[in-house]
Amino acid sequence: MRRLSIAEALREAIAQEMERDPAVFCMGEDIAVPGGWGGAFTVTLGLEKKFPDRMLDTPIAELGFFGAAVGAAMMGMRPIVDVQYGDFLFLAMDQIVNNAAKMRYMSGGKVKVPLVMRAPIGATGRGSQHAQSMERYFTGVPGLKVVAVSDAYDAKGILKSAVRDDNPVLMFEHKLLYGSKGARAEGGAVDATADVPDEDYTAPLDRAAVRREGSDVTVLAWLLMRHYSQQAADQLTSEGINAEVIDVRSLSPIDYETIGRSVAKTGRVVIVEEGPKTGGVSAEIAAGIGERFGGSLRAPVARVASPDVPVPFAPVLENAYRPDVGRIVEAVQRVMV
């Protein structure tokens, strides 16, 4: 069994899916340039050698090539289209929200859009327009599935499921979790490697995953915050607090079944997200928990998130902005009172 990074696992998943199905192809900026980077985070490195006709380098035209991906999907192809930084998704908003997400419904169910969209997110010292966590703008879009992969096993399995799903799926990845090497390595990266089977397998698109079992408090997180939450949980055991950490993984729809089982057990919830607090995905989850499991709660749902400001550049400010292990520990301590 090999230990792969997320970048390697995604690369393998894309290659295997393109091998399996000739309709699968990739579109994005700088993803297939010979001697190039394989995309900004090395995910597609070298794939153009094996699949020269199916790795398309696009102009810098997100609205255009996301729209083209939707159109190709409607005609029976299964494109995997990516933005170099999640912040660029905003350029493609009309094609994602008004076309991809709506086409099946407004056609009376006649049109399929089997599209996979990939986007790297997270603050990494590049300044506010290359740093956002923008899941919230997409989790509320009816007709769109949204997932977030936080380790290599999930990366391969969920990408495969997304490719095979006949609906548009937006997959968020985190810049600090790719495990990119060499010149593209990221400072502050966190180990998200995992044992990845080399054969074909899928992971579900609509399920959360319990990463650490516990009985005292339910900590819900995704992407980088899943790893910080696990570190926080380790720290909390020394205080006698046994935290259950759940990787939300499916941001739309939310897996309330898995979450509900945990809340019934613990009665206390802390939701951790990297983006700003107001209007975040954690707000939706908190409301959803209150509606469904309000009776089980022994304390109000707590949220850990960034402040409502754009991401600052100075490293000391960025570190103060982004939730860290300490803030998660504090939030758990508050709900345990």
Partner 1 sequence: MATSLGRQFLLDLYERMVRIRVFEDEVKFLFLEGSMPGTIHQCQGQEATAVGVCSALAPNDFITSTFRGHGHALAKGLTMPELLFELFGASTGCCRGKGGSMHVGNMDKGMVPGIAIVAGGVPLAAGMGLAFKMQKSGQVVACFFGDGAVAEGAFHEGVNLAAIWSLPVVLVCENNLYGASTRIDKVMKVPSVAARAASYGIRGETVDGNDVLAVYEAAGQAVAECREGKGPVLLELLTYRRTGHSRRDPCHYQNASVGPSAIRSIVSRHRYWNGTMSLNRSWPGFARRSLPNSKRRYKRPGGSRCLRPMIF
Q: How far is CA 323 from CA 126, 209, 232, 317, in A?
A: 17, 21, 11, 12
Least Å from the CB of residue 170 to partner 1: 17
Which residue in this structure is represented by tokens 């989790």? Answer: 139
Out of 29, 62, 273, 318, the active site residue is 62
Q: Which residues contact 206 (CB under 8 A, 6 or more apart)?
A: 145, 250, 253, 255
Q: State which of positions 20-59 bind partner 1 (CB under 8 A).
A: 25, 53-54, 56, 58-59
Closest Cα to residue 246, out of 266, 228, 267, 221? 221
* Min dist. Cβ of residue 164 to partner 1 (A): 18
Nearer to partner 1, 39 or 114 (CB): 114
Instruction: Give the CA count within 13 Å in the CB-facing half-sphere of 19.
Output: 11
- Tokens 């997180």 — which residue? 221
Nearest distance, CB of residue 156 and partner 1, angstroms = 25
324: tokens are 């860290």
Distances (CA, A) of 271 to 7, 43, 51: 27, 29, 41
Q: Report the nearest approach of partner 1 to the CB of residue 76 (Å).
A: 6
Q: Which is nearer to partner 1, 105 or 313 (CB)?
A: 105
Q: Interface residues for partner 1 in 86-115 (CB under 8 A)? A: 94-95, 98-99, 103, 105-111
Give Cα 334 to chain centroid, integer Å: 28
Nearer Cβ to partner 1 (77/325): 77
Q: Does 240 bind partner 1 (CB under 8 A)?
A: no
Tokens encoding 168: 């548009």
Query: Using an 8 Å Cβ cutoff, are 336 and 268 in contact?
Result: yes
Nearer to partner 1, 106 or 264 (CB): 106
Left (φ > 0), alpha (ψ -120 to 50) or beta: where does 286 sit?
alpha
Q: Retrieve residue 121's tokens.
A: 């997110």
In the window 172-231, what residues touch partner 1 (CB under 8 A)? none
Sign of the Cα torsion 224, 89, 31, 71 reads positive
Nearer to partner 1 by Cβ, of 64 and 312: the residue is 64
Q: Is 257 a catalytic residue?
A: no
Residue pair 260/292 in contact (Cβ under 8 Å)? The answer is: yes
Shortest separation between residue 13's beta carbon and partner 1, angstroms? 21
User: Interaction with partner 1 in 60-79: which residues (CB under 8 A)?
Assistant: 61, 63-77, 79
Residue 262: both structure tokens together: 């945990």
Q: Site size for partner 1, by CB under 8 A?
A: 35
| Count of H-run helices and E-run strands, the chain | 12, 14
Nearer to partner 1, 11 or 54 (CB): 54
CB of 49 to partner 1, least distance (A): 19
Q: Which of 12, 29, 48, 130 is catalytic?
A: 130
Q: Which is nearer to partner 1, 107 or 215 (CB)?
A: 107
- Give which of 286, 254, 258, 284 is closest to 270, Cα–Cα: 286
CB of 161 to partner 1, least distance (A): 22
Q: What are phi and psi of 319, to 5 degrees?
A: -65, -30
- Residue 130 falls in the annotated catalytic set: yes
Binding site for partner 1 (CB under 8 A): 25, 53-54, 56, 58-59, 61, 63-77, 79, 94-95, 98-99, 103, 105-111
Point out the residues that are catalytic.
62, 130
